[in-house]
A and B are shown apart, each in its own frame.
Chain A
Amino acid sequence: MQPIIRVSNLSKTYAGGFQALKNVDLEIHKGEIFGLLGPNGAGKTTLINIVCGIVTITSGTVTVAGYDIVADYRETRSRIGLVPQELPTETFETPFNVCRLSRGLFGKPEDPEYIEKVLRSLSLWDRKDEKIMLLSGGMKRRVLISKALAHEPDILFLDEPTAGVDVELRQDMWNVVQSLRESGVTVILTTHYIEEAEQLADRVGVINNGEIILVQEKTRLMQELGKKELVLQLSESLASVPAQLAEYKLELNDSGMELTYHYDTKQERTGITALLAALHDAGIKFNDLSTSQTSLEEIFVGLVNKGT
């Protein structure tokens, strides 16, 4: 399948000499939600801004739906909607009017019904004629999303969409992203809230210091790199882990009341049954146990640290 976005050997050096991207290759599939993860200053926003035409290319090529973003910029840009990281809004305008402007700018004939649909889906219809300066931060972000959707784009870039947004609104936004995907829109999401990528993304790319470190399906990434751990809350504190349990490489916390066992979900035998039997034999009793899986965040921190 032809990727909807193909980034080939892309480099960007800013006027000051800072190299923000180094020979980046990346393909985004049509209809997927792609999570681009990376710490601050990794090059996420530069990459997005290049695809959208805001930042110029130093070397390399980018195509969108088969069109080159420089030579055929009208074809590529009309397919893209961008929600930027900051909240730049037309202070004195109204949500309805800015959406109408956005739609026109991206070359679409007027369609008030469509704009109404977008504003309703983002719970902005009741405020459509209010000055944007009077809206809350969360609402301003929704205005930016509705502007980006006003021209019915095939591709939507969300640059840190939920930075500084409360939990409820974050959930609403995730719902919007899911419904966009269902309608066939390709969504590229940058975030450093790993939870967001974990919830939403089909594939995840990790970028650090201007280089793509890894691109993988999220579930596979978590399977391959994911470790599980079993935590046992003991009834009585232990001074140290008994010698006969050494093979399980248990960790005892400082209070001596908690034992942690790491195991690999991919292995045929997790060793849990044997461990529990060995604990019984050693006379160690426990009140409670819990298991947890390494989150994408921990995987990500591991990857980034390895790269530096």
Chain B
Amino acid sequence: MNFYAIKAIYRTEMARMMRTIVQSIVAPVLSTTLYFVIFGAAIGSQIKEIDGVAYGAFIVPGLIMLAIMTESISNSSFAIYFPKFTGTIFELLSAPVSFVEVVLGYVGAAASKSIVIGLIILGTASFFIDLEIAHPVIMLLFLVLISVSFSLFGFILGIWADGWEKLTIVPVLVIMPLTFLGGTFYSISMLPPAWQTVSLFNPVVYLISGFRWAFYENADVAIGLSLGMVLGFLFLCLFAVHWIFKTGYKLRS
């Protein structure tokens, strides 16, 4: 194991975040805070409670999830796509590293960033909304697992993409709709039965549901199922990255 490589990649990536702190931290925190202010404090007071939770508080887990999923994907996809675009990836490909070091360095840094963003948003939300966290450890576990698995997903996306458009297509056309329709702003149980069944095919439902359970102990699906879905997604992504490095897909000719 080449520990120096992991450290070097991780540090370079974290330095990149600090260099672009407005874009990487301030922007997602601000946009999520605006949701709290508008849907939580302003409109939220006009909306009745969902499953015994005030609307402003109900949307917090889903909004944090939306932020960390989009940030994880954009951070790690950019981190690997940019060297591919400029050609500097030759160095990574000629270095004595396996997929383990590369993933720990790049995905570790992207996930760290997302976790920091998630915690800042959580802290900010507590200024506007009365928050309670029933299971802080499980909440953190979800935060970490989802940050890591979506950073892995972003990493795969960055390797797959051969143009800037492809890089933005998946977050905008897939992740955002799935998150909005995955119960960020409502409970699945509020939908007509047919749409409830359709919603169960949306993997993001399980993530948001599990994360919300850690806060308020109410969920659309069982917590065990949510955790299973997150872990399943994580292993699927790990397997894909392993395969990419083994075969050199889109990396080595």
Residues of A within 8 A of B (CB): 14-15, 52-56, 73-78, 80, 82, 84, 86, 88-93, 97, 100-110, 147
A90 contacts B88, C-beta separation under 8 Å: yes
Contacts A88-B86, A104-B7; A77 near B95 (Cβ below 8 A): yes
Contact mask B78-110 → A, CB, 8 Å, 1/0?
Answer: 000001001111111111110000000000000
Which of B5, B15, B252 meets A104, CB within 8 Å?
B5
Residue of B nearest to A100 (CB): B8
Nearest CB on A from B7, distance (A): 6
Chain B residues whose CB sits within 8 angstroms of the CB of A104 once the complex forms:
4-5, 7-9, 11
- Please measure, in the bound complex, the distance between the C-alpha atom of A78 and the C-alpha atom of B86, giving whole angstroms: 23
Contact size class for B?
Answer: 20 to 34
Chain A residues whose CB sits within 8 angstroms of the CB of B46 once the complex forms:
none
Contacts A54-B252, A56-B253, A108-B4; A101 near B93 (Cβ below 8 A): no
A92 contacts B2, C-beta separation under 8 Å: no
With an 8 A cutoff between CB atoms, is B48 at the interface? no
Contacts A54-B94, A89-B88; A103 near B8 (Cβ below 8 A): yes
With an 8 A cutoff between CB atoms, is B248 at the interface? yes
Chain B residues whose CB sits within 8 angstroms of the CB of A84 once the complex forms:
87, 90
Contacts A56-B248, A80-B94; A101 near B86 (Cβ below 8 A): no
A102 contacts B253, C-beta separation under 8 Å: no
Chain B residues whose CB sits within 8 angstroms of the CB of A75 once the complex forms:
96
Nearest CB on A from B6, distance (A): 8
Besides A56-B253, A105-B4, 20 more A-B contacts (Cβ < 8 Å) are A52-B94, A54-B253, A56-B252, A74-B96, A76-B96, A89-B86, A90-B83, A92-B16, A93-B12, A103-B4, A104-B4, A104-B5, A104-B8, A104-B9, A106-B5, A106-B96, A107-B2, A107-B4, A107-B96, A109-B4
- Please measure, in the bound complex, the distance between the C-alpha atom of A109 and the C-alpha atom of B93, giving whole angstroms: 20
Contact mask B1-32 → A, CB, 8 Å, 1/0?
Answer: 01011011101100110010000000000000
B94 contacts A88, C-beta separation under 8 Å: no
- Please measure, in the bound complex, the distance between the C-alpha atom of A103 and the C-alpha atom of B7, giving whole angstroms: 11
- Please measure, in the bound complex, the distance between the C-alpha atom of A256 and the C-alpha atom of B5, giving whole angstroms: 69
A105 contacts B86, C-beta separation under 8 Å: no
A147 contacts B4, C-beta separation under 8 Å: no
Residue of B nearest to A15 (CB): B253
- Please measure, in the bound complex, the distance between the C-alpha atom of A102 and the C-alpha atom of B89, giving whole angstroms: 11
Chain A residues whose CB sits within 8 angstroms of the CB of B93 once the complex forms:
52-54
Chain A residues whose CB sits within 8 angstroms of the CB of B9 once the complex forms:
101, 104-105
Chain B residues whose CB sits within 8 angstroms of the CB of A88 once the complex forms:
86-90
Chain A residues whose CB sits within 8 angstroms of the CB of B88 once the complex forms:
88-90
Chain B residues whose CB sits within 8 angstroms of the CB of A91 once the complex forms:
86
Chain A residues whose CB sits within 8 angstroms of the CB of B252 once the complex forms:
53-56
Residue of A nearest to B15 (CB): A97
Nearest CB on B from A147, distance (A): 7
- Please measure, in the bound complex, the distance between the C-alpha atom of A108 and the C-alpha atom of B5, giving whole angstroms: 8
Chain A residues whose CB sits within 8 angstroms of the CB of B248 once the complex forms:
56
Which of B7, B11, B86, B91 meets A102, CB within 8 Å?
B91
A105 contacts B92, C-beta separation under 8 Å: yes
- Please measure, in the bound complex, the distance between the C-alpha atom of A145 and the C-alpha atom of B19, giving whole angstroms: 26
The B55-96 residues at the A interface (CB cut-off 8 A) are 83, 86-96
- Please measure, in the bound complex, the distance between the C-alpha atom of A9 and the C-alpha atom of B94, giving whole angstroms: 22
- Please measure, in the bound complex, the distance between the C-alpha atom of A63 and the C-alpha atom of B150, giving whole angstroms: 39
B19 contacts A92, C-beta separation under 8 Å: yes
Residue of A nearest to B84 (CB): A88
Q: Which 10 A-B pairs have the closest CB atoms?
A: A104-B8, A88-B87, A74-B96, A77-B96, A52-B94, A105-B95, A78-B96, A104-B4, A88-B88, A107-B2
Chain B residues whose CB sits within 8 angstroms of the CB of A54 once the complex forms:
90, 93-94, 252-253
Residue of B nearest to A147 (CB): B91
The B223-253 residues at the A interface (CB cut-off 8 A) are 248, 252-253
Residue of A nearest to B20 (CB): A92
- Please measure, in the bound complex, the distance between the C-alpha atom of A90 and the C-alpha atom of B89, giving whole angstroms: 10
